Amino acid sequence: MTFSTPYDFIQGDSPLLVSMPHSGLQLTSEVASTLTPEALALPDTDWHIPQLYGFIAPLGVSVIKANYSRYVIDLNRPEDNKPLYSGKTTGLFPHILFNEKSIFMPGTLVDKEHQHDCIEHIWRPYHQQLTAELARIKQKFGYAILFDAHSIRAQVPMFFEGTLPDFNMGTNGGASCSPKLLQAAEQALSGSAYTQVSNGRFKGGYITRSNGQPHDHVHAFQLELSQATYMQDSGSYALDDSKCNQVIPQLKALIEALVCCNLMSQ
């Protein structure tokens, strides 16, 4: 089959690269033909992430944004599909929704050849671009910072009990970035009304874990933002303008803190 462009990329002029692996909405015809009506609504998308981070262009930040849905292939999972968490999770080729219902209609299946093509034409190009841009940034600035931007519903019993904090920051338990970087992020949010946690349920997925190599001056940082901070409560996946007006300045403060965190002085 023919694949469309797997990602959009804008090169900036700062030490920071922002990755958006789960905001894509495109489906291949093979996958679309297998999905249940509920799954076709793409409920587990990281909704509106590109719009939320629309402020980053003037900051000179590089951006890579996936175009395909995570239901086609999950860019934040390893190519060998090894589990990242000991508890329940979804894989490289998801088969269940976050509510634990099947993604697929009864009797349907995406064949192995299509999955192989998705790895070849979607997963690998995205990760190759990530690697190349981080190398370019490091060559220019002496270090590089990868910010993996995600969002999720505030309540997902499959993954965690109760209600998620507003800002969930992950550095693979401190292994993927300098403590100085996480401290700068925490400080940027400390005066806000939003709740935050570092390395709680979400410690960072494959992109954070595989790219974060502080000893080699490449630092990776994931944010899992609660969708309750910017979306309507109606279940329509629509933005709430009032909420956006409050949370976007906090996101900007966080990004600016990372851009301005000079890691060469360590």
- List CB contacts of 13: < 8 A, sequence separation 6 or more: 60
Using an 8 Å Cβ cutoff, are 94 and 43 in contact?
no
Q: Given this model, what pLDDT does residue 150 score?
A: 98
- On the question of pLDDT at 266 being above 60, the answer is no
Alpha carbon 243 to its chain's center: 20
C-alpha 78/C-alpha 211 separation (Å) is: 12
Give the pLDDT confidence of 103-149 residue by residue, as tens digits: 999 999 899 999 999 999 999 999 999 999 999 999 999 999 999 99
Q: Is the pTM of this model over 0.85?
A: yes
DSSP state of 261: -
Give the residue among 142, 112, 220 at the shortest CA–CA distance from 176.
220
Give the residue among 115, 150, 145 at the shortest CA–CA distance from 130.
145
Using an 8 Å Cβ cutoff, are 170 and 141 in contact?
no
Measured CA to CA in angstroms, residue 259 lies from 61, 67, 143, 149, 186 at distances of 8, 25, 11, 15, 14
Indicate the CATH number for domain 7-265. 3.40.630.40
Give the pLDDT confidence of 145-195 residue by residue, as tens digits: 999 999 999 999 999 999 999 999 999 999 999 999 999 999 999 989 999
Helix (H, G, I), strand (E, B) or coil at 144: strand
Q: Given this model, what pLDDT does residue 87 score?
A: 65
pLDDT average, residue stretch 20-47: 97
Position with higher pLDDT, 217 vs 236: 217
Q: Given this model, what pLDDT does residue 90 score?
A: 83
